[in-house]
Amino acid sequence: MIKKMFTGLCATGLLFTSSVAMAHFGMVIPSENVITPENKVVELTISFSHPFEGVGMEMVKPDKFYMVKDGGKTDLLDTLKESRVMNHTAWHSTYKMKRPGVYHFAMEPVPYWEPAEDVSIIHYTKTIVAAFGADEGWDEPVGLPTEIVPLLRPFGNYAGNAFVGKVLMHGKPVPNAEVEVELYNKEDKLRAPSDHHVTQVIKADDNGVFTFACPRAGWWGFAALNEADYTLKNPKGEDKGVELGAVLWVYMDEWQTK
């Protein structure tokens, strides 16, 4: 099936810094990942960006946006309103928590044609939010074509904790999957020592499991990349490969003092 495509442009028309390509990340970033009765509303910002470098790309309205809780799915596509992230089109949603639970917010985008890499990119992206003290169901897949299932509880973590996840494709582990990792440099206050430091790269083991110690507080994105077994048409009508990304965003907190 051929879906509509769209082309993103950076200021230079290239997605490279020196000889190292900047990584793309689907982004679903909530205002909080632990919700208390005092503030029952979570704001969610959806974009397609280079999170550390602060380079945004245009994003059309996703194909799907929904919440999964206790095995049930709630369609949230109509809640999306157009916004701006990194000076490019992005999307915003507001969700009010009504009862305790672990809420999985998932986004399935329209394929993104990337001429610099000669592929279409589809990043199935999710984040997980705990409400009112609930602590069950965070390690359950939501049924995305490809996804990262956390093996470390994805909330209530400190900077320095080692995140552990399992990469799935069609519900099965992906041996030796390559996983890209970036910190969301939201305030643009951090500078990488070299291009190689912008995106960390690790390999999953034979069971699709990987571990990464997050050295700093903030939102960390994990993107497991695999090639699809199908092609899509590029803007010229040519059949081209498809990069499938399983993307998960988790937050690491600072220690607090009394």
The yes-or-no verdict on residue 115 having pLDDT over 60 is yes
- The candidate with the shortest Cα–Cα distance to 44, out of 89, 109, 102, 91, is 91
Q: Which amino acid is at 83?
A: S
- Maximum C-alpha span of the chain: 61
Element (H, E) at 196: helix 195-198
pLDDT value of residue 21:
55
Percent of the chain's residues with pLDDT above 70: 91
User: For residue 194, which phi and psi values (nearest 5 degrees)?
Assistant: -155, 170
- The candidate with the shortest Cα–Cα distance to 1, out of 164, 111, 101, is 111
- Averaged pLDDT for residues 76-82: 98
pLDDT value of residue 7:
37
pLDDT value of residue 20:
47
Query: 12: pLDDT confidence band, cut at 50, 70 and 90?
Result: very low
Q: Are strands 112-114 and 6-7 parallel, antiparallel or unpaired?
A: parallel
pLDDT value of residue 24:
86
pLDDT value of residue 23:
80
Kindly report, residue by residue over 91-100, the tens digit of the pLDDT.
999 999 999 9
Kindly report, residue by residue over 176-234, the tens digit of the pLDDT.
999 999 999 999 999 999 999 999 999 999 999 999 999 999 999 999 999 999 999 99
Cβ–Cβ < 8 Å for 216, 182: no
| C-beta atoms surrounding 191 within 10 Å | 9
Alpha-carbon distances, residue 186 vs 106, 183, 220, 225, 251 (angstroms): 21, 9, 11, 23, 13
pLDDT value of residue 22:
64
CA–CA separation, 142 vs 69, rounded Å?
9
The yes-or-no verdict on residue 8 having pLDDT over 80 is no
Q: DSSP secondary-structure letter at 198?
A: H
H helices, E strands: number in the chain: 1, 24
